[in-house]
Amino acid sequence: IFRVSLSSSAKQRERDAESGSLGRWDATRWQECDKPLRPIKADPKKVIDDVNDGLQVDFANMYIGGGVLSGGCVQEEIRFSVCPELTVSMLICEVLKDDEAILFRGGLRIAKTRGYAFNLEYDGVFSDEQPPPPFLAAIDACDYRGWGRGALGHQLEPATMLRELEKARAGFSLHQFADASELLGATKSVPGVVATGNWGCGAFLGNRELKSLEQWMVASACGMEIFYSTFGDQGLARSLNRLSEDFSKGGTTVGQLYRVLSSLSRAGR
């Protein structure tokens, strides 16, 4: 378990680099990011757990583990239920701040499931012949339940969008920490792909299209490609794959996409 924070100051930078701090990016830094958008592969059928050689994303609660011990049955709770070693983090990790993430490796999977949420069922013992445990990044999304599903304008507000970008950057930056890589057993190879999906788009009512673009920008800024599970949404998968092709041909950068999204906020969309 390795805790990542973006908090930094000039006096603390050298010390923070050793303790897991990256330093924050402000809106100007995102606007000026000239890194090209890396390829994205969206799939409506394949799930995050299928990408064992990638950095898998845990759609976390700010209190790590969420409701796994009290009847919770969505993405994070399912992961902690089938990989019970992850529950150790609930004893030692405090509530996540807006600029923090938790990185894991070593949670062996012991069970299979079928269904989701209130249709979730146990589906037998997971195979003993499994690959090494994947890397896992726990990041908690903003909760928009107080705004309703029509709150896209709020989600596009600069402060809100920046919070989500920086939260994801804390989780996607494993390769920038030599100490974390060694601690988590990645001294020879750090994943080059982020495996994620509709982060914060279930109970928290996040907009799927916006969340996919935000995570795409962050993965590209971190030099990683992205696998995106749309969880059955074939239209979103087609749109993302088409955008990936178009953006690659046009050499679109992270900063360009950020500026487009910022313009939508100013237009009140």
Instruction: Name the catalytic one among 32, 53, 58, 209.
Output: 58
For residue 94, indicate whether it is catalytic: no
In angstroms and rounded to an integer, the radius of gyration of the C-alpha atoms of the chain is 18
Instruction: Name the catalytic one among 76, 100, 140, 166.
Output: 76
For residue 100, indicate whether it is catalytic: no
CB atoms within 10 A of CB 228: 28
C-alpha count within 13 angstroms, C-beta hemisphere, residue 189 = 8
Contact 12, 188 (CB under 8 A): no
- Residue showing tokens 């029509």: 150
For residue 182, indicate whether it is catalytic: no
Instruction: Name the catalytic one among 77, 100, 140, 233.
Output: 77
Contact 245, 63 (CB under 8 A): no
Which residues have a catalytic role annotated? 58, 76-77
